[in-house]
Homo-oligomer: A and B are copies of this chain.
Amino acid sequence: MPNNAVVTFVGAGPGSADLITVRGLRAIGQADCILYDALIDEELLTYAPNALKIAVGKRAGKASTEQVFINRLLVSSAQRHSRVVRLKGGDPSIFGRLEEEMAALDAAGIEYAVVPGVTSACAAAATIKRPLTQRGVSRRVLFATPTTGRNVAQPNEALDDLSPQHADTLALYMAGRDRSSIARRLIEQGWAASTPVALVWNAGAIDAISETGTLASVAWAEARNSDAPLMILVGESVATERGAAIEQAAREAQTFAAAQAS
């Protein structure tokens, strides 16, 4: 797949080295230069023992300047090496600043390919063993982030016009900074205070932590202070109180067994 490409953008998946795809791991093994983000599990770098490895994590408040620097570094690396991997957390197409780096490569006439990855919302759902969609309940999932390019929380703008008429499940990326104002804003827009919420830190990792509750109970709960990336999932499908669904499944199983026996 990435055979003609000089640069391969690779989604590393979130939290844990073994959530990368087989195709992504192969690209790492073939790379002679790897540019990697701050949140990557560095175990992945051991699969490319001979590659030049360059950390390009962004620091808060200087994101824009540093993106131009990363773009330049990516282009110059591609001019010096024949197989460059640009390793990004999660999936590169979702909140991964892919466009800026692709445009820089296009401007320099450099070929590239993309290997998709597991995005954090899916890893968070897997961590709490709940789906993001549910037949007859949740058919529309919206991914958003209250964090801007400069890492400034602006929940009001990101969450404008987001009533339950427009989406059934919300997955809010990089949402750690201003949790209670996010919950308040959603309630103002028509989400019931009883809407189930899951907070998942370090989704996909061995040390993932989650808290579940409702928009009312989670938001103003004592803040868990953590620098770990936080995913907030909102909506009926992430509810952990599921007595009725389990009872219905038990009834269906009995009906099925009776029909088989007759």
Contacts and interface: CB of A to CB of B under 8 A. Distances in A.
Given A133-B95, A206-B1, A250-B107, A22 B11 contact: no
A249 B166 CA distance: 35
Contacts of A139: 144-145, 158
Contacts of A117: 118, 122
The A interface is mostly helix, strand or loop, or mixed, namely mixed
A52 interface: no
A113 to B, nearest CB: 7
Nearest to A44: B22
Interface string A104-115: 101110001111
3 A-B pairs with least C-beta separation? A93-B125, A103-B249, A114-B126
Interface of A: 1, 11, 13, 16-23, 25-26, 68-69, 71-72, 75, 91-100, 102-104, 106-108, 112-119, 122-123, 125-127, 129-137, 139-145, 149, 158, 160-162, 165-167, 204, 206, 237, 242, 245-250, 252-253, 256-257
